[in-house]
């Protein structure tokens, strides 16, 4: 049985940081120091170090890690599909943006203190593709587009008759 000796060393924070960074691949700091010392003293380090796990353990660990990554990826894909479906619903419900509308049909945003979106009127005036009519915010709550049509028709009738 080989006798092992333990040695305590003091390291600067910078040097210790380099060692910890190097040990992120699973190699303990003590193994890195032992290997560096062996190289410095000219010893053969080509044989497997005691800290290195057998190949079967490495393969099993990699397989388990791959399975965990695949599981997380499936969860992310499922969540992404849900988000895309929610986004499609929101876009379907929201009125078209001004940049999406044809140039001649620009409708300004309404003043919510004077107007509101309400049930689609009998004439089907759909305000900016929202599926609702723009209505006056009062007890009558009439459709603004219907009122505008009626006013145009009234003016046309006056021109014809008089």
Instruction: Provide the terminal-to-terminal Cα distance of the chain, rounded to the nearest Å.
Output: 122
Q: What is the domain extent for residue 157?
A: 110-161
Instruction: Confirm whether 25 is domain-assigned.
Output: yes
**Gap between the Cα atoms of 44 and 48, Å rounded:** 11
Nearest-angstrom CA–CA distance, 11 and 95: 64
Contact 117, 133 (CB under 8 A): yes
CB atoms within 10 A of CB 120: 15
pTM listed for this prediction? 0.33
- Asked if residue 127 lies in contact with residue 95, where contact means CB atoms within 8 angstroms, the answer is yes
Residue 104, domain member (yes or no): no
Co-location of 115 and 134 in the same domain: yes
Q: Which range, 29-33, 105-109, 112-116, 142-146, is most confident?
A: 142-146
- Cβ within 8 Å of residue 96, ≥6 positions away: 128, 129
**Structural domains in the chain (count):** 3
Q: How many CA atoms lie within 13 A of 135 on its CB side?
A: 18
Same domain? 60 vs 90: yes
Band (146; pLDDT cuts 50, 70, 90):
very high
The pLDDT score that the predictor gives to residue 64 is 83
Task: Report pLDDT digits (tens) over 27-71.
Answer: 788 888 888 888 888 876 565 555 555 555 677 778 888 888 999
Residue 7 lies in a domain: yes
Kindly state whether residues 58 and 11 are assigned to the same domain.
Answer: no
Identify the domain boundary among 94, 126, 147: 94
């Amino acid at each position: 049985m080989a006798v092992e000796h333990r040695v305590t060393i003091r390291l600067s924070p910078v040097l210790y940081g380099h060692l910890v960074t190097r040990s992120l691949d699973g190699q303990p700091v003590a193994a890195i120091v032992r290997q560096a010392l062996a190289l410095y003293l000219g010893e053969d380090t080509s044989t497997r170090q005691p800290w290195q796990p057998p190949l079967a353990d490495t393969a099993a660990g990699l397989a388990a890690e791959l399975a965990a990554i695949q599981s997380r990826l499936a969860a992310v894909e499922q969540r992404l599909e849900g988000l895309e479906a929610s986004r499609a619903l929101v876009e379907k419900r929201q009125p078209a943006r001004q940049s999406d509308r044809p140039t001649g049909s620009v409708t300004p945003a309404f003043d919510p203190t004077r107007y509101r979106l309400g049930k689609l009127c009998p004439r089907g005036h759909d305000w900016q593709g929202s599926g609702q009519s723009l209505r006056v915010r009062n007890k009558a709550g009439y459709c603004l587009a219907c009122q505008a049509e009626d006013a145009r028709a009234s003016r046309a009738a006056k021109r014809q008759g008089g």
